[in-house]
Chain A
Amino acid sequence: MENKTVWLYRENDLEAVLKKKKGCTFAALALACAGLIVCVFCAFHAKDADALNWFKIAAAVSLLAGWTVITLRVFVIEPLKAAEKHIRTMLGGEYEKVAGSFSLTGERIDIRKGVSMYRVCVDGNEAISSMSIYEKKAKLFDAEKAALVYSVYGFIAGYEEQNEDD
């Protein structure tokens, strides 16, 4: 009986990430525009007797809207961009087959401006001793059943599940 091949990346993954990125970028832009409109409205009161209060409102709105946009960018949009880049690489890259026995470690590797990975130890292979798996794909990877993995630049893209009958 043939081994079952499990692919960790699909076109759907890319579409989902792109959709989420588009939504968040739109939300950030909408917030920035709304903040700007409020600030401009406040600036029209610059000649009023209580201009100082209008200035305080404008500065506070600008500050909070800007900080929210920065937070969205740092914690949502940039990680999504990194995920998009990673998924594109995995979908478009050339696979290399790596045989051996695998074990998923809890060791996390944070790549600067990239996605976070978990280290996978490879035993029984002279050429490669460790590989990486994208943190969001780690739970789909059954290391104990994997007899052969497909890797792209050292990242696990899929694996062959050993048939239990064998």
Chain B
Amino acid sequence: MRTIKKLASNAHRYVLWALISVFFWGWVFSLAGDAPRAKKLTVFTSVEAIDCAALKAALSERLPDGINLVQVHPFRYAAFDTSEAEAADIFIVTEEEAKSMAKYLSHIEGDDGLVVDGAVIAVVLIPEEVFKNTEFLLTETHEPVYICFGSRSVHTKSLNGSSDDAALELFDTIKKLFAEGGNL
């Protein structure tokens, strides 16, 4: 009884420590796991079926020159701060979402892809039929998935005159990974 009473009177210490543990180490990991924009590529996806961890692992093994870090986040990662999502290099989204966020996307050269206001803004990553590659998919998809470039990316020199074309290299790698089931 005395022990329980003592535990109860010190409960605030245990709760406070639990909060400190989670938030402090969360903050440390977000700092330690980050890199300057010039050295990282960020991919955001709204497609719940995509396994962000598996895709990140595969892309981390195939980093373009001059890039130290690739991050793959679901859109919900930016629930409280959209600035990182708005400045992302690559988006993997559905057709409807690609159209709704057209103002944040770079125009892609060529005729093949999703056209909005006369310009191609996205190309197909996963076709409409059920995609059987399960390497980067947690579940099957039943609608086409598109891949596109963020207009504020600092790694799309050919599209917006920024410093390098690392995002384009990553774009090709993602397309190949999905096309060949991760067996590059």
Chain A residues within 8 Å of B, Cβ to Cβ: 39, 42-44, 46-52, 54-55, 58-59, 62-63, 66-67, 70, 74-75, 110
Contact B32 A74 (CB under 8 A): no
Asked, given contacts A49-B57, A49-B60, A52-B53, whether A58 binds B10 with beta carbons under 8 Å apart, the answer is no
Q: How far is the CB of A118 from chain B (nearest CB, A)?
A: 14
Q: CA–CA, A39 to B24, complex, Å?
A: 11
- Convert B22-66 into 0s and 1s, putting 1 for each residue whose CB lies closer than 8 angstroms to a CB of A: 101110110011010000000000000000010011001000000
**Cβ–Cβ < 8 Å partners of A66 in chain B:** 17, 20-21
Q: CA–CA, A47 to B68, complex, Å?
A: 9
Contact B60 A58 (CB under 8 A): no
Chain B residues within 8 Å of A, Cβ to Cβ: 2-3, 6-7, 10, 13-14, 17-18, 20-22, 24-26, 28-29, 32-33, 35, 53, 56-57, 60, 68-69
Contact A63 B33 (CB under 8 A): no
For A51, give the chain B residue with the smallest CB separation.
Answer: B33
Contact A43 B56 (CB under 8 A): no
Q: CA–CA, A51 to B56, complex, Å?
A: 11
Contact A46 B10 (CB under 8 A): no
Contact A43 B21 (CB under 8 A): no
Q: CA–CA, A52 to B22, complex, Å?
A: 12
**Cβ–Cβ < 8 Å partners of A67 in chain B:** 14, 17-18
Listed by A's residue number, 23 A-B pairs whose Cβ atoms lie within 8 Å are: A43-B28, A43-B29, A44-B32, A46-B28, A47-B35, A54-B29, A55-B26, A58-B29, A59-B21, A59-B26, A62-B24, A62-B25, A63-B17, A66-B20, A66-B21, A67-B14, A67-B18, A70-B10, A74-B6, A74-B10, A74-B13, A75-B3, A110-B2
Contact B29 A46 (CB under 8 A): yes
**Cβ–Cβ < 8 Å partners of A70 in chain B:** 10, 13-14, 17
Q: How far is the CB of B178 from chain A (nearest CB, A)?
A: 17
Contact B33 A75 (CB under 8 A): no
Contact of B25 among A44, A49, A58 (CB under 8 A): A58
